[in-house]
Structure 1
């Protein structure tokens, strides 16, 4: 009796240690597929009485439990055919996902709920434990043994603890994937916004590109620059007869490539540290360029506000309609450097008439124009 008790304690200790090791591994995983595969394989590896393990997850409609990880050749075949079981079906998985409690088929030859699987003909006992997040069942851990009555209360308790850890790891992996998806979306939006503002800025300069050169490069680096622009990585050219090696470094701002910097570096000095330094300098250049663009834009916005306020003050100072119109066309013409400005006001039209937007505003009987020299016609 002593030996039997001692053996049970040893088995129990081994199972607890296995549970701890498996839980430690799965909670560190961020990729859901890897997490599930590691979990089922470690269970079979660490629990000799279990010859097959698998994990099912419920779909969004909670209608089916879909097999997501399964061990051995049988598991590969089941996964390949998209194995699934309906929630509430006459099967261990169907019952555990519907009831949300442990379901055991202690002897599959006499069990009413065990569903025979042609890929697992040696199964004599099956245990399914719900995977829960709070009160919500998200799937099930299913383990099978070649021995009848293989799952005693102690082993069920150990596997229940493990299932809880797996469920928590699944939730963490899903939250991590959601977070990375949102982060990627933010990065895409940032790149698009950066690209748009710089395209607008370059259009404002009336140029598709701008360039600054220091020194007298001996070779045409356009091909090298294009490579850096297309790949977003440092491009290294061939060393010339002077012992200089050209490198093109992308200028990247918030994931968007703004341009490329080309340096000629002595071959004897070219190493990984020098390349890292070049990329860091290009990154700082990108920030400086964007700061300069923002400063210019703020200056232009300030100037626009000044002009609008000045014109508004002159217009509101007038009380006569003709004077208001004449002041408006004069000041607007000067501000926009327009040779001719015309403002028209006209009487209200029938409600059924549709007026298309125009550059002119009209009113019959009132017409004020500026012909560019401050005189009105």
Structure 2
């Protein structure tokens, strides 16, 4: 009987392990499906058992014998094998303990008893364990349909919340809308920050309280109830407070949360600051009866609420001012109607081009200006592209003309404040070139508004007045900023939905990428697949896979993607320079390296990667074995998002495991071939009865095995005295 499994049976096992996970099985069900088939795979296996880690030891999941296995405790010999992550052999009983674990995670333990111990058993058993470990690792990292659904549900929940908040006519209705994201909150309250002068905070006043059993309009002064010391603590917090504060346990609040802000009898709470025109003006407090953990999704929703609150309060404030000023009533109502209409348009916009087109038209119509132009900046915030204009002058898609760069440069990239110039002929902020450009185009006044998302400037809006004697008023500026705030939320929603779809597509492609790699043990095919698929998943213009050459102890280029072509040199590729290079840093530090813009990296010469600006590099590691380094690059700076980096790490992990499995399989094949060759030569030598026949077999068979063109054996006699 053969002491090694048939190759066809190994392929059957690989096919079984690479089956599509729809729906995704549990670890136990996978082990229950695979382990009983091992004796059929290799008849020399007498029994096989699989265990899973538990708090008190290892729990038996499945066994091919009929005995009920007990839980292995930490002192057991094979439990020790799992703790040390190495195979343990009991030669007396032909027993093997094989850990199912990778560098980061312990998945279980497999115990195999052979009918007869043999030297070949160890390599094949380790290969079976490696294949099963690979599948368990893929099972642990494969995204489920429910995870993708959760992302889409979050987008839908945010969309519904925005709709309700935009429809709110007063703060109480606004608090009711917050029940969408806080249905179990015990209370939701609204307070305003009161200032004397322009920036001195004098008080915080609670205005509205919404509880499960009642709604109240109140006026509770924080300065009177808490005292001057508490009020001074609020003054210290207010200037830089722009992120929601989350208190998961009110008995142990973070140090940056004022104690007097914590509601009596509350178990946990969230404080959401709201800014209008760059100043902290409102506070939303959401309280819960019991301490609770707030998920990452909750944090994203609270941040989205903060941005939307600013818009809603601004709209409500505009409505109040319109109602209180009879002389400006008609104009204010018209502006608000435009805002409401724009809100509907924004909610229906499916892409940025449609959104910006409606935005530019709304600004011109509402403010009665002559022209609107929207510039979007590249990731380096240097080059602008005109994405919308009204009325149309045929400039959409073109870059910002050089003569207009000095005009848009008036914007402070760190401040959302607009720039208003009501007289281009005399304003000291304009240089001669900008003044000439404006005068030649008969522009009398203009306003620049920076477009910020998540604290970063991404574009500039320019509004022009060509009629002499007409200025931009404070009212026009406020209306323009209100419209801009609505568009920012709409833009965020569009990008959030687009990012969700992109991430879903990336996860699906990564899943397919992993399945493709796990279906083969051919290293060249693995490298070719990595080059072909990577630029379809993340932005890649150049990609290099450098593998370690243990013989020369250096890195060689094994695969390269450049200029749209794949190049493979799996053996004896070009040596990769490590000294002072990004690859060298990653090889030495064994950590991911992200360079958003290589021109800003002082330690890397600008000509190191030629035309590339953004780089991602990561070591290829599998089972604590450093295999090489993979690098991807793009000519556009800041092109890689956090999602791209996470997806890149998943891809590299799958690639490293595939390369290591291919290496281990090839090594096993070589070892098996060499052992078979030695056995064959030994058998033929033992069949010879004379020295000449033995020598002829030795020189012929060894020559063929070594690929020698010529072989020779010399015999001599020992000299006697």
Question: What TM-score, normalized by structure 1, do the two folds share?
Answer: 0.48
Structure with the largest fraction of helix: 1
Question: What TM-score, normalized by structure 2, do the two folds share?
Answer: 0.26
Larger Rg: 1
